[in-house]
Chains A and B, each alone.
Chain A
Amino acid sequence: MRTLAAVLLLFCVATTAVAQGSFAGANWTIGFPTGRTNDFISKTSFGGMGVDIKRFFDDNATYGLNFGWSQYSEMVNETATWPSGALSGTQIRYLNLFPISLNADIYFGEKRDELKTFAGLNAGAVMVRMRDDIGIYSFESTSWHFMLAPEIGFWFPVERGTYVTISARYNYAFDNGIDVFGNDVNKHSWVSLNIGLGWMQDWF
């Protein structure tokens, strides 16, 4: 709940304060788990969001911050085995991801171009919260990971200062801690599609 309140506050702060050369945007995030994350939950997430705050330090380059939250959930019915035993039952799995990262982007084309394409890199941390409900039992794990996320996307203007933003990001969280099953290989990766709105004051 505290994490949600922090995300909510960041939304309101970011969207109500825009200065010249500064960009603030919020987006809806669709997440596609990959790698070991896909082994835990394979279902696409449509419940995610992100906030971007950027500032131009050059005609074609920005630095900034990115915050996000995605939730995944899936019901599976499979047997877990290990060398001396097995466990079967209906499992309901949950995964919550809270990435926080610094961001640097490069914009292509001319400053006056309407459609602005960019490529960039996010680097920071992500909190991974896993939960597995089986029978009447529930297992949870929380871990922090260093994260890198290259990104490409574009902005399309809808009116002066307001843009539709679309980007694709590959997120990789490096191995740290143990996962909900007690495995000490605990790394995650997912592809996110971010669709949102952004606004900027008197730059283009």
Chain B
Amino acid sequence: MVITSFRSASRALAIGLLLGATAVFLSACYPVYDLMPSDFDIAFTQYSTEVNFGAYKKYFMPDTVRQIVAPGEKEDPALHAFDAQILQTAAANLTGRGYTRVADSSQANFAVIPATLKASYTGYYMYGGGYWGYWGYYPYYPYYSTYSYSTGSVFLFLNDFAKRIDNKPGTVWFGSLNGVMNIDTQSGARTRITNGINQLFQQSPYLVSAQ
């Protein structure tokens, strides 16, 4: 390919550079979504397809929520502020689906075990290192910055007393909420927990008593 005249070459070059700049511009045009704290929440459920959840009638649920911590670590007392709400919301959903809560586990078909977990993440990023100036490249010592965030999880384990695995009641349904903490008010977090637990049951239409 050859350029056959100066006028066509300069016109072609100008158009080429304009379109090249457009390519760079469009590459930066990923849409920005204004995300709320609740947009980072996910609700996950998994269940055994061999179980007839309609055959269950009575369930046992403890009055406390277990907090999962690594060996040697202490529990976060702030997380227990949501215990009553977790128990209340789970009980309301189970009652609405025809299950009856009993205080004596020996009279129950299954147990619902709630638990919470807090995980913290820390990372760092680097920017800089140099820039192109009039006389060439100007290096400078890069800057480092750190970031950290915490996630909170709420778990519901549904264990069948009749199906035992390693001499313990087997889990036949599992629900998990996960969301980012420390970016919301406490009342906002309460709303998200309530909505999340409701969503766990909403996406489990098979979880209803036929008794």
Query: A199: nearest residue on chain B (CB-CB)?
Result: B12
B79 touches A (CB below 8 Å): no
Q: How far in angstroms is the closest Cβ of chain B from A172?
A: 24
Indicate which residue in B16, B31, B42, B203 contacts A16 across the interface (CB closer than 8 Å): B16
B165 touches A (CB below 8 Å): no
Which label, helix, strand, loop or mixed, suits the secondary structure of the A interface? strand
Q: Are B35 and A90 in contact (CB under 8 A)?
A: yes
Please give, as numbers and ranges, the residues of chain B lying within 8 Å of A79 by CB-CB distance: 203
Residues of chain B from 136 to 152 with CB closer than 8 A to chain A in the complex: 149, 151
Q: Are B4 and A4 in contact (CB under 8 A)?
A: no
Query: B176: nearest residue on chain A (CB-CB)?
Result: A87
Which of B19-27, B62-70, B86-94, B106-114 faces chain A?
A: B19-27
User: Interface size (A, Cβ < 8 Å)?
Assistant: 45
Whole-angstrom distance between the alpha carbons of A202 and B2 in the complex? 13
Q: How far in angstroms is the closest Cβ of chain B from A2?
A: 12
Chain A positions 190 through 203: 1 when the CB is less than 8 Å from some CB of chain B, otherwise 0: 00000001010110
Please give, as numbers and ranges, the residues of chain A lying within 8 Å of B31 by CB-CB distance: 73
B48 touches A (CB below 8 Å): yes
Whole-angstrom distance between the alpha carbons of A127 and B27 in the complex? 16
Q: How far in angstroms is the closest Cβ of chain A from B48?
A: 7
Whole-angstrom distance between the alpha carbons of A14 and B30 in the complex? 26
B8 touches A (CB below 8 Å): yes
